[in-house]
Structure 1
Amino acid sequence: MNQKRSLWREPMIWMLVGLPLASVVIGFSLLFAAVHPGREDRETVDRTTQVGRMLVSAHSLTEVSTRGLVLRTKGDMIEALPMDGDFPRGGKLTLTLTSPHSADGSRTYQLAPSELGWRGVGSLEGSDDWAVRLGSDDGGWLLHGQWPSQARFIHLMP
């Protein structure tokens, strides 16, 4: 009756050896996954890089502001104000607002240079949310964003 069992048939041995061994294998598999990104990760990085290239096409990365600009309405005027002095200046801007709920669909405004940034005649009456597309006339950069219906201003960043 006093028969000796094999050491590997004891559950405590599996807990003492198996659990640490399993954690080491899982750790190395996570390290491998972090070092070798999958196809989806590469597509996300490529899309982000493409958006950065659209903004920076004519300017080097050090010349373009990373703080973006503020787009606001003031009475019947729309203003675009850079957040710092590094933002590329000069020339007119084209602002396109698109709303799927609006009767006319989209609006386009030309913003001329002013003392603080750019300014143009226009307003955003109504309760529509707008998709914003703002770019320079020479095609040097382009910013996208959303303008909620009750907001007085939005911050557009590269």
Structure 2
Amino acid sequence: MEQKTSPWRQPIVWLMVLLVGAVVVGSVVMYVVANKDGPMDAVPDKVQRTGEAQHADLGPDARAAAMKLGAIARYDEEHGFVEVLPVNGGFDHSASLQLKLHHPTREAEDQTLVLPPHETGWRLDAKLAVDHDWLLQLQPANGEPWRLRGRMPKGQLAAQLRPAVDASQP
């Protein structure tokens, strides 16, 4: 005759309890880590949601592509200024430009700079953090409907700005 033992004396029962416990603890840790910085604001555009689709207005990007605009945004850390240099296209060099610097995850750290015309492009004295990435958006300060975008990775001091759409694609 076999003697019955308690299920708690079986190693497989303890293995199952430990696995479930590890999943619960891991899930709580991942939730805390994911929400440490608050909600993510990775897309600075106003987005319209219809069903499961999201729609953003790309009209300003298409206009910039049609105008063949391109620029470089650069930060001079030593002298403390931000500069936008035109690369190609028909920029109005007498008008100020608005450069929006979006933190990739925290909207509270976003900055908007209005750069006045300068002999080489547009320039403004400013101090920027270089310890994280920046999502850049350049547009005229007077509200003209064009926009250039770019990304400045952590530690980098310059970024290429171009339209988000390709003018050659229908």
Once the two structures are superposed, residues 63-98 of structure 1 have per-residue CA deviations (whole angstroms, 9 ceiling, x without a partner) of x234x0000011210000001363343311111112
Shift of 1:148: 0.7
Give the aligned CA root-mean-square deviation in angstroms: 2.9
Matched, 1:54 2:60: yes
Alignment pair present for 1:119 and 2:123: yes
- Which amino acid in structure 1 is aligned with residue 160 of structure 2? H
Aligned residues: 107
Structure 2: gaps of 5 or more residues: 1-52, 164-170
Unaligned runs of 5+ in 1: 1-42
Alignment partner of 1:134 is 2:116: no
Task: Indicate how the Cα distance of structure 1 residues 73 and 126 shifts in structure 2: closer, same or farther if over 3 A, else same.
Answer: closer
- Describe the SS at the equivalent of 1:146: strand
Counterparts of 1:156 and 1:60, CA distance in 2: 11
TM-score scaled to structure 2, two decimals?
A: 0.53
1:78 aligns with 2:85: no
Residue 151 (1) aligns with residue 156 (2): yes
Larger radius of gyration: 1
Q: After superposition, what is the alpha-carbon deviation per residue over 1:98-122, rounded to whole angstroms, capped at 9, x for unaligned?
A: 2145694211111000111100111
Q: Greater share of helix residues, 1 or 2? A: 1
Contact (CA 8 Å) 1:101, 1:128: kept in 2 or not? no
Q: Is the 8 A contact 1:65 1:87 kept in 2?
A: no
Which of 62, 65, 70 is 2:68 aligned to? 65
TM-score normalised per structure 1: 0.56
Tell me, yes or no, if the aligned pair for 2:103 and 2:134 is still in contact at 8 Å. Answer: yes
Per-residue deviation, 1:136: 0.2
1:149/1:138 Cα in 2 relative to 1: closer, same or farther (>3 Å)?
A: same
